[in-house]
Amino acid sequence: MVDLQDEYGETLPQVARRVQRGRAKPCSVCGLIKRHAMNRVARDGGYSVLATGHNLDDEAAVLFGNLLHWQTGYIARQAPVLEAEEGLARKVKPFCRFYERETAAYALITYIDYIFEECPHAVGATSLQYKDILNRMEQEAPGTKLQFYQGFLRTRQANFFRDEADQPTLIPCPACGQPTSTQGLCAFCRLWTRQAT
């Protein structure tokens, strides 16, 4: 477990308020911190693969949002398996084709601890709005989310969304050593040096 207060001197809400990243919602800061911390733990622990609990509801909502805004770089990098790159652990999403309710049901019947509540900091997050829209579509036409996501995976496999020009060149951050596409400190390290805006 990573304790931000112990390791960096601030909690997630404190960092989010200080830097105002993501229009005062901590989701953007949280995502950045989680990606950095999970990769660091995988690297430092000598693990070759990092598995996350992203489910179909998560993946469909992210895809929906990225398509709405035509964020082609993010679309090109969304996949059930992200191969390792220099300094980045291989990432897999074994639950990406399972609905959230299916993974919750499995956790219940096998006595795996499961957090049912949404993150208390996520109130008003666009990802929850996208999930709500997709849930309403799913209610009217069961299987919509799975068809949407599997259709994306088929087009991705056919290289429809792949454009090597969209892939940034990664270099090590001079402070933490993790890959970054910017010169100087990575976005994570800049969080801890940035003053209130």
- DSSP class of residue 78 equals -
User: What is the C-alpha separation between 81 and 151, in angstroms, rounded?
Assistant: 16
Question: Comparing 196 with 138, which gets the higher pLDDT?
Answer: 138
Q: pLDDT tens across 18-74, in order?
A: 776 655 678 888 888 899 999 999 989 999 899 999 999 999 999 999 999 998 888
91 and 3, same structural domain?
no
Helix residue ranges, H only, the chain: 4-8, 12-19, 27-45, 56-68, 72-77, 100-109, 126-140, 144-157, 187-193
Residues 129 and 145 in one domain: yes
CATH of the domain at 125: 3.40.50.620
The answer on 127 and 37 residing in a single domain is: no
Higher pLDDT, 123 or 144: 144
| Residue 193, both tokens | 């040096």
For residue 141, pLDDT beyond 90: yes
Q: What percent of the chain has pLDDT over 70?
A: 91
CB 56 within 8 A of CB 149: yes
Asked whether residue 164 carries a pLDDT value surpassing 80, the answer given is no
Same domain (yes/no): 89, 110: yes
Structural domain tally of the chain?
2
| 35 lies in the same domain as 95 | no
Mean per-residue pLDDT over the chain, rounded? 87
Average pLDDT over residues 160-169: 64
| Residues 95 and 53: beta-carbon distance below 8 Å | yes
Domain hosting residue 65, numbered range: 53-166
Which residues, including other chains, have CB under 8 Å from residue 110's CB and lie 6 or more apart?
A: none
Residue 118 is given by DSSP the state P
Q: Please tell me whether residues 77 and 97 are part of one structural domain.
A: yes
Q: What is the reported pLDDT for 39?
A: 92
pTM of the model: 0.83
| pLDDT number for residue 197 | 43
The answer on 64 and 130 residing in a single domain is yes
pLDDT at 163 over 80: no
pLDDT at res. 21 = 65
The CA-to-CA distance between both ends of the chain, in Å, stands at: 30
pLDDT reading at 195 higher than 60: no
Average pLDDT over residues 86-105: 94
Q: pLDDT-based confidence at 165, cuts 50/70/90?
A: very low
CA dist 130 and 161 (Å) reads 21
